[in-house]
Structure 1
Amino acid sequence: MASISSLGIGSGLDLNGLLDQLESAERKQLEPIMAQQKSYEAKISAYGTLQGAMTKFQDAVAKLNDPELYASLSASSQGDGVGTTITSGAQPGNFSVHVDSLARAQSMTTGGFASREDELGSGTLSFTVGDDTVAIDITQEDSSLEGIRDAINASDAGVSASIVNTGSGDTPYQLVLTSKETGTQSTLTGMTFSATGDDKTLETQLDFTAMSQTVAAQDASLTVNGIAITSQSNEVKGAIEGVTLSLTETHAEDEFATVKVEHNNLALREAVQGFVKSYNDLKGSMGDLSSFNAEAGTAGELLGDSTLRSVESRLRSALTSGVAEGAFSTLSDIGISLQLDGTLELDNDRLDDIISTQRDDLQRFFAGSGGDSTTERPGLADALGDSLAAMLDDGGLIENATSGLETRMEGLVDRYASTERSIDATVERYRAQFGKLDSLIANMNQTSSYLTQQFDALNALNSQ
């Protein structure tokens, strides 16, 4: 609290300074409370770090507990001209693909025009793309080559329009119309322009019979395992069940591409590797939180913490217990060994061999056997998932430990406020006492001065 500036004037003593020193001494009672608050805050933060690492491990465990991981397929292509994308419903197999022709979009061009910007006369432009007939009204002010181009493109009629400059003669500008879709079902037909004014220039130029076809519409043609297939698009769906083929170039007579649909070994391998890595990351986090540096005299926030010890114990128990039945019963059977420092080490060659030859056994080890309630056998991922959920879910081990600290923090806040009020009361009591002392000394000084004056007067009389 602020000191009263007049304190000490009567006595001449530095009572303000003395009061400040006493207040500082009293406020040292708050330091243990603040230290305890910082300790709890650090612990709560440490539990957050632990929870984050455990959640990442939980996600890795959940991937291995998903049956779709073991059933997932991938498609690849060897050879030029064919790309692949896997979709649903694919089945493993090898397919020989020969591309005879690529799908193309039709392109038509008008005769030449002298200008891009001169008005050519109003009217109605009509044409058919595939099964769709379109009519576009062209006003006089929008009847230039540029205006017609923009009107066609704005109509979303399945045709794109552009202007090319051939650079030759007095009429170098041509309007080019191209189907937006490839294949023979998207051809452009029946283009006519019905003029509403006297200018008939466009009726001739935009007559389909007067236009030149620069690119003919064409379907893609290919064979899959010798079966002939046609497609309107170069993205061919259904030729191989559950696979989309992307055609990019044709093959010579004796060339072909091989498409292989197989189990997605890479995804499964990465899931197991992610499991090992996330556990080792979790183990590293727990080690940091419980570490002690003797030279520096520093310790991790959760050194000796019972919650951390419980987490370590439960995870170690779930990892080493393995599963009761099946070709694999422990992690070491699939090439994952527990090291002396508590981390896991993966034998990638052993894992690759198991993925290739014992995929179903690996699924049963991690994800269990499935089935109804009487036959279902849980796997290692089931057990780990249950254990992690019990620690991470609402009301679990981590939340209980954190909420306990938060409750203690609330108690410390109350205790801090109570102690601060007590200190303020003590300082006020000191202030009142110092005020009385200041007045007392001031009175005594006044009495002393009066007596001194009287004695001096008496001495003066006696000396006459």
Structure 2
Amino acid sequence: MAISSAGIGSGLDVAKIVEQMVTAEKIPLKKLESKAEGIQTQISTYGEIKSLTSKLGDIVSKLTRDSAWNGVNISSSNSTISGSMTGIAAPGTYNIRVTKLAQAQTTVIGGAGAAALAKDETMGASGKLTLKKGVGANEVVKALDISSSDTLTKIAAKVNEAGMGIQASVVTDVDGKERLMLRSKDSGTGNSFTVGIDLADPADPADSTLKKLEQTNSQLAQNAEVELNGVTVESNSNTFANTIPGMSFSVSEITTNPATMTVKTDTEAIKKSLQEFVDAYNELNDLLSKSTKYTEETKTAGVLQGDSATVSLQNTLRMLTQGISGSTGALTRLSDIGIQMREGGGLTVDSTKLDKGLANVDDLKALFANKANSMGQGGGIAVNFKAVTDKLLAFDGTLNSKTDSLERTLKSNGAEQDKVNKRATTLEERLYKQYSALDGKMSSLNALNSYVSQMVTTWNKSSS
């Protein structure tokens, strides 16, 4: 609140006096602002801790699932035979010899030679074209009406619109004659079909184009066939999806000699997952150490130095790495596979020892993924870590509760700052009012003094 006339009457530097007194009133503000900055840094640090805890939780959650341990690599000695995972495949070796490839049925209508049709030639008589597709209970029959004015192009359109899984097209030979080609969309004997042509009226001319149409099978439907470890198996396509549990394999050429397909446990993927666990743990541990550490050389404390919740969190995580898992196998501790604690609480990996552990994936899986009992005890390393990270990240867990507490403290600090600013503003307004009133009094007195002086001067002159 600036009053430009303050001090005119009194001759005092009112603005400077008020400024100094308001500044003194605001002295507590600096301390509050510094404290607020520290609280905000703590909130930010807890945000990082929460993010890294979530990252660690995702990784250990992955290690509790079967899919983390049951991955395989599939290789083949022949590039024309390839395999892929569809589920959980057991390691093994398979000898595969391809004796037949799957093919779709192709049927040509229109005969050959003199019986072939001229371009856009009409049928000359009405009737039905009957399609039968499938075998047994899967057989589907549709009769398509043919008019005397229909051409092969119109008949092809009717076949395609029938939705039988049969593709129809008109092909033209070197003599310009047309034929109707029908082809099953899918390969295999289960997708074979037949075509029947009947005149609507037997009295129609016997030499009508429709009657003269001939059916020629240029390629019969056929299943793919392989010898798998001496056993003959078939598939309606060149992919064998249900022959070996957890995987499928595809063939593209007939082979004379058997190819060897090998299914091995993907130990590299497991090793990568374990390294991700170690890296995520170390990243979180390093942040916790940095936040709680006191550096003697610089005489500076970490942003969370002395914070009991943070110290407790770090101790809990370290204990999990040293504890015995619920495994009943040969491996019971992380140190059994070369994962050990280094100075500062971080983890290191002995690759040679880990490779030995990877030789027995079942024991390694038990070390990390054994289920806990009904009391939450006896779980594997990953299971125990997941239980702790889930609890920490819960809505009412330690990390959210601590962050909420800091947010409340920051809000309270802001309220205290508002109070200081309000007191300073009130003081400034009061002081200016007081000095304005003083100026008014001083101005009156100065005016009276001037009047009296003038009167005295006048009286003196009159006396003289």
- On whether the aligned pair clears a TM of 0.5, the verdict is yes
Matched residue SS, 1:273: helix
Instruction: Tell me if structure 1 keeps the 8 A contact 2:9–2:440.
Output: yes
Instruction: Tell me if structure 2 keeps the 8 A contact 1:99–1:250.
Output: yes
Match of 2:104 in 1: 105
Structure 2 residue 184 is matched with structure 1 residue 179: yes
Matched residue SS, 2:273: helix
Match of 2:448 in 1: 447
Counting only pairs closer than 5 Å after superposition, residues 302-451 of structure 1 correspond to structure 2 as: 302-323=304-325, 327-356=330-359, 358-368=360-370, 377-451=378-452
Query: For residues 60-115 of structure 1, what are the alpha-carbon distances to aligned partners after superposition, in whole Å with 9 as ceiling and x for unaligned?
Result: 33333445644555544332222223344744432111112221223456778868
Task: Summarize the Cα distance change of 1:262–1:453 in structure 2 as closer, same or farther, 3 Å threshold.
Answer: same
Structure 2 residue 194 is matched with structure 1 residue 189: yes
AA aligned to 1:442 is: S
Further displaced range: 34-43 or 73-82:
73-82
Mapped partners of 2:325, 2:162: distance in 1? 65
Structure 1 residue 327: Cα displacement: 3.0
Match of 1:157 among 155, 164, 181: 164
Structure 1 residue 43: Cα displacement: 0.7
Q: TM-score, normalised by structure 2?
A: 0.76
AA aligned to 1:333 is: D
Mapped partners of 1:150, 1:160: distance in 2? 9
Task: Summarize the Cα distance change of 1:215–1:291 in structure 2 as closer, same or farther, 3 Å threshold.
Answer: farther
Match of 1:271 in 2: 273
Mapped partners of 2:385, 2:410: distance in 1? 33
Instruction: Tell me if structure 1 keeps the 8 A contact 2:50–2:399.
Output: yes
Structure 2 residue 303 is matched with structure 1 residue 301: yes
Mapped partners of 2:153, 2:412: distance in 1? 78
Match of 2:240 among 204, 226, 236: 236
What is the aligned residue count?
445
Instruction: Tell me if structure 2 keeps the 8 A contact 1:61–1:381.
Output: yes
Structure 1 residue 297: Cα displacement: 8.4
Structure 1 residue 315: Cα displacement: 1.9
Mapped partners of 1:100, 1:322: distance in 2? 54
Mapped partners of 1:439, 1:353: distance in 2? 96
Mapped partners of 1:347, 1:315: distance in 2? 20
Query: For residues 113-134 of structure 1, what are the alpha-carbon distances to aligned partners after superposition, in whole Å with 9 as ceiling and x for unaligned?
Result: 868xxxx999987634432234
Task: Summarize the Cα distance change of 1:433–1:204 in structure 2 as closer, same or farther, 3 Å threshold.
Answer: farther
Instruction: Tell me if structure 2 keeps the 8 A contact 1:129–1:179.
Output: no
AA aligned to 1:95 is: Y
Structure 1 residue 225: Cα displacement: 1.0
Counting only pairs closer than 5 Å after superposition, residues 109-258 of structure 1 correspond to structure 2 as: 127-130=131-134, 131-134=139-142, 156-160=163-167, 177-190=182-195, 209-210=213-214, 215-251=219-255, 253=256, 255-258=257-260
Query: For residues 287-314 of structure 1, what are the alpha-carbon distances to aligned partners after superposition, in whole Å with 9 as ceiling and x for unaligned?
Result: 4434678899876533443333222222
Matched residue SS, 1:340: coil
Task: Summarize the Cα distance change of 1:280–1:440 in structure 2 as closer, same or farther, 3 Å threshold.
Answer: same
Further displaced range: 255-264 or 4-13:
4-13
Match of 2:114 in 1: none
Identity of aligned residues (%): 29
Mapped partners of 2:13, 2:144: distance in 1? 99
Instruction: Tell me if structure 1 keeps the 8 A contact 2:105–2:219.
Output: yes
Query: For residues 208-252 of structure 1, what are the alpha-carbon distances to aligned partners after superposition, in whole Å with 9 as ceiling and x for unaligned?
Result: 95576665432211111121222111221332233322223322x
Give the CA RMSD over aligned residues.
4.5
Task: Summarize the Cα distance change of 1:451–1:261 in structure 2 as closer, same or farther, 3 Å threshold.
Answer: same
Task: Summarize the Cα distance change of 1:454–1:106 in structure 2 as closer, same or farther, 3 Å threshold.
Answer: farther
Mapped partners of 2:106, 2:321: distance in 1? 65
Structure 1 residue 351: Cα displacement: 1.9
Further displaced range: 124-133 or 430-439:
124-133
AA aligned to 1:242 is: G
Task: Summarize the Cα distance change of 1:38–1:150 in structure 2 as closer, same or farther, 3 Å threshold.
Answer: farther
Mapped partners of 2:331, 2:432: distance in 1? 80
Instruction: Tell me if structure 1 keeps the 8 A contact 2:81–2:252.
Output: yes
Q: TM-score, normalised by structure 1?
A: 0.76
Instruction: Tell me if structure 1 keeps the 8 A contact 2:373–2:379.
Output: no
Matched residue SS, 2:104: coil
AA aligned to 2:50 is: Q
Query: For residues 23-66 of structure 1, what are the alpha-carbon distances to aligned partners after superposition, in whole Å with 9 as ceiling and x for unaligned?
Result: 45544543332332222122112112112212222333333344
Mapped partners of 1:44, 1:189: distance in 2? 75
Instruction: Tell me if structure 2 keeps the 8 A contact 1:189–1:208.
Output: no
Mapped partners of 1:137, 1:419: distance in 2? 95
Task: Summarize the Cα distance change of 1:315–1:208 in structure 2 as closer, same or farther, 3 Å threshold.
Answer: farther
Mapped partners of 1:456, 1:138: distance in 2? 140
Mapped partners of 1:122, 1:55: distance in 2? 74
Instruction: Tell me if structure 2 keeps the 8 A contact 1:80–1:249.
Output: no
Further displaced range: 379-388 or 408-417:
379-388
Mapped partners of 1:92, 1:22: distance in 2? 84
Instruction: Tell me if structure 1 keeps the 8 A contact 2:337–2:356.
Output: no
Matched residue SS, 2:358: helix
Match of 1:199 in 2: none
Matched residue SS, 1:52: helix
Further displaced range: 130-139 or 326-335:
130-139
Unaligned 5+ segments in structure 2 are 111-116, 201-207
Task: Summarize the Cα distance change of 1:153–1:308 in structure 2 as closer, same or farther, 3 Å threshold.
Answer: farther
Unaligned 5+ segments in structure 1 are 196-202
Task: Summarize the Cα distance change of 1:438–1:334 in structure 2 as closer, same or farther, 3 Å threshold.
Answer: same
